[in-house]
Amino acid sequence: MNREVEAVVTGVGAVTCHGGGADTLWRAMTAAGSRLPDRPADPLARMDLPLISLVPDPDLTAERATRFASLAAAEALADARLDATSLAAARTAVVIGSCMGEPGSNERGRGGESWLPPFRLAAALAGELGLFATVHDVANACAAGAYALGIAADLVRAGEAEVVIAGGSDAYSRVALGCFNRLGAVDPERCRPFEKDRGGTVFAEGAGVLVVESAAHARARGALSPDENAPEVPGRVLRLAGVAWSCDADHPTAPRSDGEQVVRAMREAVGGAAHEVGCVVPHGTGTRLNDVLESRALHRVLGERAAHVPLYSLKALLGHSGGASAALAAVAAALILRHGVVPPNVPLKEQDPECEVLLPQGAAVPLPATARRVLVNAYGFGGNNASLVLAGGPGPDDGGEPW
């Protein structure tokens, strides 16, 4: 592949239940503290377990998903050192994934007399930034954020865009919460991936946004130096080294039991560099089926290294942020690569023996210099699977050359 059209990540932004900002997320990751979910102040949320980890903002009637996406995008653009003038001059696109889109106005009270299309986040963000651009909303459930990043990489590699603002955002939805209660898929305590006695997932609000650029555009504006040791790029620019999608086409909600398509997506994303994967940010929802299936799939993809490659279980820290979850996982992967360490996980009471994966406890684990790639997995209803790999610095397949 021509390295000038390779997709690089130059900026990240996040909004989570711990507050705004990727730095806030990193502090929460390194602190490794558990957080009990909230009970939303919604009198119409009549269900057994109205649990969700809310972004600190009491107004449930506002267009929260739109605002979260806007805040995360603003941070990502500032991190990438891109302003409105730069965006207008480039071929820019906006791609945002979401489970529920913008549910606020449609779920206000018992529902208004008018109905607005919920999947308008990308258009709203493009309008706010003053862009007349390629705009895509992605709505394939909890894999949506990963698919958005995959579309971003495709747009860059095809020469359709030089800059893509991509990620995911989801906010409180009474409908979504009610549906998971009816499915019996909510843990009564919190989101506890890979725990022996886990009872389901717990939703969370949030948004993750990444700035994806062509290497040529990043280099032309000085964000990607020809000298990898230059002070202006101290490991902040990362490669979106691999993205792959697959679909089980097997069941509306459950993953296919043989895990074939999950394995396929992972293998295609890591390519021939499975030995360079130094960390995995798993989908890990806390549901009985997902965690076991993903653990077994990792062994098939990583081989004997699977028991020794550290996992960082982001949903144990945040809860399950739906269509934003993979985008936030990609932000977490970028932070892990920038800092060179895998933070300790939220402590496990007892790990499920069927989940034979490494979840570091108590202390951070350094990323080896020879394994500077982080694999991110995302799975959604309808059998939607996606995996992506973020890489820091040149690898052996690049001839060891600097950017």
321-359 confidence digits (pLDDT tens)? 999 999 999 999 999 999 999 999 999 999 999 999 999
Q: Is residue 178 part of a domain?
A: yes
* d(C-alpha 283, C-alpha 288), whole Å: 13
Are 186 and 246 contained in the same domain?
no
Written as one string, the DSSP assignment of 47-90 is: SS---EE--S---TTS-HHHHHHHHHHHHHHHHHT--HHHHHHS
Residues in the chain with pLDDT values less than 70: 1-4, 109-114, 225-235, 393-403
Task: Give residue-wise pLDDT tens across range 155-171.
Answer: 999 999 999 999 999 99
Task: Give residue 39's pLDDT.
Answer: 94
Q: Is residue 207 part of a domain?
A: yes
Task: Give residue 247's pLDDT.
Answer: 87
Are 207 and 278 contained in the same domain?
no
Are 200 and 261 contained in the same domain?
no
Task: Give residue 109's pLDDT.
Answer: 65
Task: Give residue 108's pLDDT.
Answer: 75
Are 89 and 208 contained in the same domain?
yes
Supply the CATH number for residue 205's domain: 3.40.47.10
Q: Is residue 310 part of a domain?
A: yes
264, 297, 330, 286: which is closest to 72 by C-alpha?
A: 330
| Chain mean pLDDT for the chain | 89
Backbone φ, ψ for residue 244 (5° rounding): -145, 145
Q: Is residue 308 part of a domain?
A: yes
392, 389, 394, 99: which is closest to 244 by C-alpha?
A: 389
Are 155 and 14 contained in the same domain?
yes
Task: Give residue 254's pLDDT.
Answer: 76
Are 125 and 214 contained in the same domain?
yes
Are 18 and 149 contained in the same domain?
yes
Range of the domain at 91: 3-218
Instruction: Read off the tokens for 296.
Output: 């077994």
Task: Give residue 253's pLDDT.
Answer: 73
* d(C-alpha 107, C-alpha 105), whole Å: 6
Number of separate domains in the chain:
2
Are 254 and 161 contained in the same domain?
no
